[in-house]
Amino acid sequence: MEAVAVFTPDTYADAVPYELFRELRATRPVCWVEEPPVGAWPAGPGYWAVLRHADVRHVLRTPEIYSSYLGATQIRDPDTEDDLTFVRAMMLNQDPPDHARIRRVVAAAFTPRAVRELEKVIDARAEHLVAEVARAGEADFVSVAGDLPVWTLAHVMGVPEEDRQLLFDWSNRVIGYQDDAYATSSAADPARLSPMGRAALRARPAPAHRPDGRPANPRSRHALADMFAYAHALAGNPRPGTVMAHLREGGLNRAEFENMFFLFAVAGNETLRNGIPGGLLTLLRHPDQFARLRREPELTGSAVEEMLRYWPPVIDFRRTATRDTELGGQAIRRGEKVVVYHASANRDETVFHDPGRFDITRTPNDHVSFGFGPHFCLGSHLARVQMRAVLRHVVEQLPGLELAGEPVRLVSNFQNGLRSLPVSVR
């Protein structure tokens, strides 16, 4: 298989190409990858893929050499300079010191103390969701697992209960744009939305196109007009103590505010919607480890870390070289794209013994699924709380859980997700 396969979204419709990653780590750990056209999307200039654990960490901890700001953090370049200027206002696409300034605005909502106060309500929600599976005897666990992060985000952000499904729909459009089943889906029922939610739906733009007729970037400001209309309406009277209250009081400009709402509404939702079903599927495919977890539920914490290593919710992130440099024996020129592959780094043989083996007792477990350096995931603690809660209740309430059909993967070279995970309870 050629290196270009690590870019091609259809590769991931079957599986993450771990064998190709292994071969490249051994022979070309920093290798050039072409960007051919994908469907209606145009070809790109190509990029350097970074595959070893040490090199990935080096890139992530040196923003002065590998910038999040110059070209943003997605492999695909923004369509226009206006789009690039807009997404640069997102915390994810900032370099220090601006990154730290924006991060401080919402950090208070995600301190260990703040998350501890959420643990009881998260646990109760997880218990309810898993109990519903037990009562029904079957479910698509992607839907079950997707409910918890959306519910948690709505709670943290102060989004009304009736509008939670909007968060789900926005994630589908933004993250799943390479997958036709996600890009055009909508689960929000206008009749059940709040007046604020219905107004946002009316603000949803018609699909935009570039001057050459190709679809516009789904992350552009135009494409997300409904999301931002909702964000401004919600911030008009935020619930005290919520993320929206922090954003309103944080002194952000308009673009920074809109991008921060985008980051919470999408990134905080989609990663767990990938990680929880992906981790459960991994357990189901390793029945010896699942059986051990049932016998030793005290291993839940280390099991979650191994699930994150073995099934990282995010496959890769992009940086742009700020100057001519060298990495892994390759000369990298200023302005070239550099893409770190978390999925490859988590299977690096020089860091993880027998990395292809799923072991819920693995320790230490130095995975990079939450990133590294200044952009280490702000919500990592909250994500772990949710994953542990779901796993605990699955073990307690679903002793006879098994696959009820073939899982269906999300078609994406960015998100390591499932569209469907049918399960049943014996």
**Pairing mode, strands 330-332 and 44-50:** unpaired
pTM, 2 dp: 0.92
Task: Return the closest-CA partner of residue 370 out of 287, 233, 275.
Answer: 275
Q: How far is CA 19 from the centre of its chain?
A: 23
Q: What pLDDT shows up at residue 285? A: 97
Cβ 202 vs Cβ 181: under 8 Å: no
Residue-wise pLDDT for 148-165, tens only, equals: 999 999 988 999 989 988
Residue-wise pLDDT for 88-119, tens only, equals: 999 999 999 999 999 988 887 777 788 888 89
* Domain around 360: 3-425
Ranking 31-35, 166-170, 277-281, 378-382 by mean pLDDT, the lowest is: 166-170
SS3 409: strand
First to last CA, the chain: 40
**H-type alpha helices, 137-224:** 141-157, 164-175, 180-183, 195-202
SS3 270: helix
Task: Return the closest-CA partner of residue 116 out of 379, 390, 385.
Answer: 385
At residue 32 the predicted structure's pLDDT band, cuts being 50, 70 and 90, is very high
Q: What pLDDT shows up at residue 123? A: 96
Number of domains in the chain: 1
At residue 203 the predicted structure's pLDDT band, cuts being 50, 70 and 90, is confident
At residue 426 the predicted structure's pLDDT band, cuts being 50, 70 and 90, is confident
Q: What CATH number should be reported for the domain holding residue 115?
A: 1.10.630.10
At residue 197 the predicted structure's pLDDT band, cuts being 50, 70 and 90, is confident
